[in-house]
Amino acid sequence: MNLGPYWEDPLANNVIPSVILPLITIFSFMFYPEKSDTAVIVGLIASLVLVAASVITKVKNLQYYLNWRLGVMMLFIDSAMIFMALTISRAYGKFLPCILLLLLMLIAIVLSHKFAERYLDELHSPKTKLGKMIILIGFIGSGGGAMIGYISTQTIGAHIAAPIIFIVALIVVGFIHARFQLVAIEKKYEAFDR
């Protein structure tokens, strides 16, 4: 693992409260569209595992290790996406949407590992229309995203808006996995600054 110049990185401590994102999606999974005992049990177990990972990271000061930090972020983001897919599946009342969305997520993960440098280069200095559109989505910010989410669920409904939000969130999944590929697996630590 690399401590390197990131020991004093103030962003290192942002990993620990990041557990909130998967906890929100787990809460949604447990109680949307209605409460299910099985969903509550699965959600509580997953919540305990994620909180334990966050506590271990803080107690052992593992957030300062670059590989661990990216690994924990991958765990949190991937867990959030899995439970988002399960929530969408429960909303539809079928398991097929979950399978399709998780298949898309798996494809995004494989592609981001295979083309990690190209993916990060495109996010850093976009050359294609898709890259420029991704940057535009980033400029909207969380407030704009919340407004778009609210308007879309009110106009087209949550059944259509939720899978679209899931697909857009795959950009973040690809970003985390591409960085993990370059930094933790290929040991190109300078890629973390991209």
Centre a 10 Å sphere on the Cβ of residue 170 and count the other Cβ atoms it contains: 18
Name the token pair of 47.
């919540």
Cα 192-168-97 angle, rounded to 5 deg = 125
Question: Bigger pLDDT: 26 or 150?
Answer: 26
Q: Residue 163: which of 155, 152, 154, 174 has the closest Cα?
A: 152
At 75, the amino acid letter reads: L
Q: What's the gap between Cα 158 and its chain centre?
A: 20
pLDDT, tens digit, 9 for 90 and up, residues 40-90: 999 999 999 999 999 998 888 888 888 888 889 999 999 999 999 999 999
pTM of the model: 0.84
| Domain spans in the chain, listed from the N-terminal domain onward | 4-193
Q: Which two tokens stand for residue 74?
A: 């991958």
Judge contact between 80 and 105, C-beta under 8 A: no
